[in-house]
Structure 1
Amino acid sequence: MQLKKRFRAGCAALVCCLAGVLALGGCSLLGDDSGGPARSGAGAAPHSGASADPAIPYDVTPLLKPEKKYFGAAVPGAPNSMKNVDVYTKTVGKQPNLVEYYAGWGDGFDATGVRNAWAEGALTLMSWEPFDTPVADIAAGRSDEYIEEYATAVRRLNLPVVIDFADEFNGHWEKWGTNHVTPAQYVAAWRHIHRTFVDAGATNVIWAWSPNIVNPVRNVRLEPYYPGDAYVDWVGLIGYFTAGEDNAFDSVFGPTRDQIRTFTKKPVLLLETAAMPGERRRADIRNLFAGVEADDDMLGFVWFDHKKRADWRLEASPLALKEFKRLAADDRFGFDVRKPS
């Protein structure tokens, strides 16, 4: 959303290049599939969706709508380094089981990061952002070599990953948003990417279609941008509790959820959320947990724990952090994704 800045493609590419130069990271066009070292425990304790035969793609079905809620976080440097995830875990008293990161179109697949998160019982969720490549070109097949190589790397690793492409597409503030891309171009690009992954056998991907909440862009209808149930596994809402607006859960997320429910019944994840620091943050956090808990179709949430234009980090508000920690202790939030049932 326009109230924050996230890691963008240039930063991600620079990190990837530095990682390659220093031989510290796992970024490469095809991913780190050389069998190099991962964090302790990598690949341990697979759930029933895993197969002893690498020729069989990982079955993500048990992860699509598990009994418990996802307890996610986006923190700097993760998942290629899990250091800040471990710090976040100590801060909030519970380990995230969904780790979100941002990658520019053209970046390599971070296989090392996926392994790192998996070793700690977490899925990775990659927000794939086409900053310098027109969406229409992607739809027309001009990035096919890149997509095919990326899909092959994902399939080769054969661990579950979540991918959302060109999030906040209904916002005018994005380079792939409403000022630059038509609904038809967006849908064509999404379907083309999805089909390329399927053709490569990379069915170990959970696809999250991720609009911004409609509150700031109520004139943009979402249905024309929907690729269709055959191409989407989750609806991933992006929305924040901000100052000066009604902070009831249904006020923040309800208009978007209700509109989406007119054309799909796919489960919903709050793919990116947080609350402005200040007096209201404790109440916002209570509303967040209660709203997610009350809706059986709500899979969980990912807290954006960055300082970007606003300080979304929980540590910025000690009293709100205490409330978050209390509510996070609820056993309904969080589970080891390697053993979802």
Structure 2
Amino acid sequence: MRRAYLPLVIAVTLAAVAGTGLPAASATRPRPSPAATSASVKFGAYVPGMESDPQRLTRVESAVGVPVGIASYYYGYGDVFPGPTELALANGGRRDVLIAWNMGHSTFRSWAAGDHDDYLDQIAAAARSYPYPLYVRPWPEMNGDWQEFQPTPDGGLPAGGTYAEFRAAWQHVVGYLRAQGATNLRWVFNPTADTYAGTTPIDQIWPGREYVDVLGLDGFNWGNGGFFHWQTFSEILLQQYRNITALDPTLPVWICETGSKEPAEDDGAPVDRHHKKSQWVSDMFRFTGMPRVSALVWFDARKERDWRLDSSSGSLLSFRKALQG
């Protein structure tokens, strides 16, 4: 394993081995220690199509010149996991797998009532046969006001509910799956970094440490245009990092999704000659203000913006310099 030492908080190590945890057969669920949350930062990526073609993630490794330690991708309601896809991407346990799990058009109340337990039974059976830890983020970015499952005071959204109903739904899903022997699933509480008035305060929906293994954050630099303006990595994430770490004193923090617009690209936003993505990436790896971050996952796709790490030669060079040390 090649090690890269980055100045992101302290000596930062790009790890390709799997995270803490025991195989499915174990009845003991380890907790990350405070030391583990500050000792290293594992680099991960989402690449479109990687679920069916793991070589797409391998090509990212070739581009940056180091192994990728986390494979991140997306499932929806009705998908049963883990299975062959996770086995392939786990690479013999040398890579963690992180799944965003959209719970579909179903209310929090229905989950807490056990209406979906038959579905959870299928996931539990699959998890019991899986030999590695699997990181799962249910209702990802649940605090965002663009989500139909955003918890709200009146619980009026079509796939949502109240704050209390969200907490009860989360606790039921986690508790039920653990009771069915899916002890290798690791639960990631993953709001968006946005903290404007329309978002849900995360302290109101915190399900409690007993039901969470990792604190997650998503945040992107959308560039200038419309409601957006160019923001640094720290400007995007720092306030919500402070909010989420106040929920628990020792749980590790993962940046589950991040990316930056390529300012020279006209991808729905004005071309911006005053900023450089290459500098944004370099500053991200140099930032020292979030010492509990232990993983960072890049959203390597051209979607609403050109988020790809190789969107320009300068951006790719910044990644290679940071990750290779």
Q: Could you state the TM-score of these two structures normalised by the residue count of structure 2?
A: 0.79
> Does structure 1 residue 56 correspond to structure 2 residue 26?
yes
Higher percent of residues as helix = 1
Cα 1:211–1:196 shift into 2, 3 Å? same
Measured after TM superposition, the shift of residue 241 of structure 1 is 1.8
Matched residue, 1:314: 309
Cα 1:98–1:141 shift into 2, 3 Å? same
> Does structure 1 residue 114 correspond to structure 2 residue 86?
yes
Measured after TM superposition, the shift of residue 48 of structure 1 is 9.3
Alignment partner of 1:97 out of 69, 88, 96:
69
Alignment partner of 1:237 out of 217, 241, 249:
217
> Does structure 1 residue 195 correspond to structure 2 residue 175?
yes
Q: Is the 8 A contact 1:246 1:252 kept in 2?
A: no
Measured after TM superposition, the shift of residue 122 of structure 1 is 0.7
Matched residue type, 1:229: R
Cα 1:62–1:183 shift into 2, 3 Å? closer
Deviations 1:119-178 (A, max 9, x none): 262111010002222332112211001112202211221311000000111112112124
Deviations 1:269-315 (A, max 9, x none): 10000011124211221222122x65331112100011212121122
Cα 1:273–1:47 shift into 2, 3 Å? closer
Matched residue, 1:257: 241
Measured after TM superposition, the shift of residue 201 of structure 1 is 1.7
Matched residue, 2:285: 289
Q: Is the 8 A contact 1:274 1:304 kept in 2?
A: yes
2:64 & 2:278 partners in 1: Cα distance? Answer: 14
2:199 & 2:77 partners in 1: Cα distance? Answer: 28
The root-mean-square deviation of aligned C-alpha atoms, in Å, is 2.5
| Runs of at least 4 residues off by over 4 Å | 45-51, 57-64, 216-219
Q: Is the 8 A contact 1:268 1:297 kept in 2?
A: yes
Q: Secondary structure at the match of 1:107?
A: coil
Matched residue type, 1:137: S
Q: Secondary structure at the match of 2:39?
A: coil
Matched residue type, 1:243: G
Deviations 1:72-129 (A, max 9, x none): 0001122443110011111111221101110001112141122112226211101000
Cα 1:311–1:157 shift into 2, 3 Å? same
Q: Is the 8 A contact 2:140 2:190 kept in 1?
A: yes
1:175 & 1:48 partners in 2: Cα distance? Answer: 33
Q: Is the 8 A contact 2:80 2:126 kept in 1?
A: no
Matched residue, 1:4: none
Q: Secondary structure at the match of 1:207?
A: strand
Identity value in percent: 25
Aligned length: 283
2:252 & 2:20 partners in 1: Cα distance? Answer: 22
Cα 1:135–1:62 shift into 2, 3 Å? closer
Q: Is the 8 A contact 1:60 1:160 kept in 2?
A: no
Gaps of 5+ in 1: 1-44, 331-341
Q: Secondary structure at the match of 1:259?
A: helix
Matched residue, 1:70: 42
Q: Is the 8 A contact 2:37 2:293 kept in 1?
A: no
2:19 & 2:188 partners in 1: Cα distance? Answer: 22
Cα 1:58–1:69 shift into 2, 3 Å? farther
Matched residue type, 2:121: E
Matched residue, 2:106: 133
Cα 1:89–1:60 shift into 2, 3 Å? farther
Gaps of 5+ in 2: 1-16, 264-274
Cα 1:216–1:96 shift into 2, 3 Å? farther
Q: Is the 8 A contact 1:131 1:175 kept in 2?
A: no
Alignment of 1:9-48 (within 5 A): none
Deviations 1:183-209 (A, max 9, x none): 112111110010011101211121110
1:228 & 1:174 partners in 2: Cα distance? Answer: 22
Cα 1:284–1:47 shift into 2, 3 Å? closer
